[in-house]
Structure 1
Amino acid sequence: MQRNANTQYPILLVHGLFGFDRIGRFELFHDVKQALRNAGARVFVPHLSATHSNEVRGEQLLTQIQRVLKGTGASKVNLIGHSQGALAARYAAAVAPQSVASVTSVSGPNHGSELADFLCKALIPGSLPEQIAEMVASLFADFLSLLSGNHRLPQDAVAALNALTTEGVRAFNEKYPQGLPKTWGGKGRELVNGVRYYSWSGVLQRNILDEGLNALNPLHAFLRAFSHYFINEPEQNDGMVGRYSSHLGTVIKSDYPLDHLRVISQPSGLPTKNIDPVNLYMQHAERLKNAGL
């Protein structure tokens, strides 16, 4: 049966930290973008600084939103942000709600990332035992070496890391609280200032065998290693973001069996057990369409 994702407003897929065109040989958002376009949606992928603060990336997003509005003749856009991209989307909606129909957070660190907290400590001499600090820093550096992205935009890795810590996001949330739950693990208001807020995310499976062939993916191995540094949500995270930290607006589901990167793609040859991440975006586009968005 032909799917219909012809939303009233264009969809912008907003990348997160270390925004890259590809993950290994896979183009970022490729499967999602193509599926949505094949179902009739107008889809754009704005490029933001790979590393910078939420506000700087949010301003860059605002500029590109205006370009999309001018080019399409639409009055608003639907923003779907992955990881830090969710914070950029939230900023844009808070600053210019008249231009944003909806914000959807996909594995967004809406209350900060415990991994970012740990990395910050690892970078401060004496904050952690030297051996642990070196191990964490080395692990993260190796992970980043697998991610590629060359954008001619300003970069600030320190600002990006600070913006993703629990403390950094807390300060961000004080200025831009739209859609945030009032209780930990709860849901937030779906409609704020004319903008609808949604979220979904995944968690690592306790048994690695439940990951299917994705267990053989080196990126998944890194994420599983990162998950050991979570204290508040030790078994409820996707390798980078805790399950309940991801909640925003209407929480569609926050424990899909997907890690932090699998939630944005479904590369051929590496099927994920029981879930097709691309279908989540298709379902959501239909959800937006049915809501008149």
Structure 2
Amino acid sequence: MHAAGLGKQSLLIPKQPLLLLHGLFGFRELGPFVYFHGITEPLKSLGAKVVATRVHPTDSIANRAAQLQTQLSQVLKQYNTDKVHVIAHSMGGLDARYLINKLDWERNIMSLTTLATPHRGSYIADWSVLNIKQKLKIESLFKVLDIPLLAIDQLTPQYINECFNPEITDVPDVQYKSYGAWKQFESKFSYLYYFGQLLAEREGRNDGLVSMDSARWGQSFNEIPNCDHINIINWSESKFDIMPTYQKILSDLYHLEQQRELKWSIR
């Protein structure tokens, strides 16, 4: 856990709850493993209201978004509020965009911050469809086991750019911000070396699974240098410190709340 850089005096805490959304093949907790590793509890200890959500790891964007509704309702009731902030990693950002646009939760979601979300798809999804789903015939196995495997197809650039983005547009009253990461994958022993090289040839700088260009979305975009796709959720083989990024996110959300309160007080 890399949270040493956070201090109560330096961290501005938003009043509203923060919902954390996981990505493809994700989970909230899996035995001793926590998806947002060493992130949720340190932020809670500083006073933030943090709730990690859970949806099906491989289902469609629409179904995953629908599964968030009950959890969102519970958080609103638990904290006696009508607003939340959403912080979403990878595919979770697409789930959140669908939730806001199609399922009418725009009145309750003040902001969406996406972390390495493939807003324009990823070539790695194309590669996975060809080399994992088709060549290994893994989709047939999933069907036998009655496990949906729609997510990978819906992360391809063709699906996102031709089907998803034209329909799932941003809602004016929700603040959309995004973060993208990039890393030079020089060691062949790195877990994302192969995918990082593949993606670099087609989409440029990337975190091993999502390119910087694809991660860019919303009113502002921030870079996280020397960071890969799972460093963003505090899983690291290189002791990468992601906590300053979450500190900045919380500070930005605090200032957003202050701006909204001022706006309403003037009316």
Give the 5 Å matches for 1:1-293: 1-2=7-8, 3-21=10-28, 26-95=33-102, 96-123=105-132, 155-157=147-149, 159-170=150-161, 171-178=163-170, 192-208=171-187, 221-230=190-199, 231-234=201-204, 236-265=205-234, 270-272=238-240, 276-292=241-257
Gap change, CA 1:266 and 1:123, over 3 Å in 2 = closer
Aligned partners of 1:227 and 1:237 also within 8 Å: yes
Return 5+ residue gaps in structure 1 as ranges.
126-132, 139-153, 179-191, 209-214
TM-score, with length taken from structure 1: 0.74
Query: What is the alpha-carbon distance in structure 2 between the residues aligned to residue 228 and residue 4 of structure 1?
Result: 37
Gap change, CA 1:225 and 1:5, over 3 Å in 2 = same
Aligned partners of 1:5 and 1:36 also within 8 Å: no
Aligned partners of 1:116 and 1:164 also within 8 Å: yes
Gap change, CA 1:21 and 1:100, over 3 Å in 2 = closer
Report the secondary structure of 1:156's partner residue: coil
Aligned partners of 1:103 and 1:196 also within 8 Å: yes
Query: What is the alpha-carbon distance in structure 2 between the residues aligned to residue 24 and residue 202 of structure 1?
Result: 28
Aligned partners of 2:112 and 2:176 also within 8 Å: yes
Greater shift in the superposed pair: 58-67 or 79-88: 58-67
Query: What is the alpha-carbon distance in structure 1 between the residues aligned to residue 235 and residue 15 of structure 2?
Result: 26
Which amino acid is the alignment partner of residue 121 of structure 2? G
Query: What is the alpha-carbon distance in structure 2 between the residues aligned to residue 25 and residue 47 of structure 1?
Result: 16
Report the secondary structure of 1:16's partner residue: coil
Gap change, CA 1:37 and 1:124, over 3 Å in 2 = closer
| Structure 1 residue 91: Cα displacement | 1.2
- Identity value in percent: 29
| Structure 1 residue 254: Cα displacement | 2.9
Report the secondary structure of 2:107's partner residue: helix
Query: What is the alpha-carbon distance in structure 1 between the residues aligned to residue 130 and residue 74 of structure 2?
Result: 39
| Structure 1 residue 62: Cα displacement | 2.1
Aligned partners of 2:84 and 2:111 also within 8 Å: yes
Aligned partners of 1:238 and 1:259 also within 8 Å: yes
Report the secondary structure of 2:191's partner residue: helix
Aligned partners of 2:39 and 2:233 also within 8 Å: yes
Which amino acid is the alignment partner of residue 156 of structure 1? P
| Structure 1 residue 266: Cα displacement | 5.4
Q: How many residues align?
A: 240
| Structure 1 residue 290: Cα displacement | 1.3
Which amino acid is the alignment partner of residue 21 of structure 2? V
Report the secondary structure of 1:292's partner residue: helix
| Structure 1 residue 256: Cα displacement | 2.0
| Structure 1 residue 155: Cα displacement | 4.2
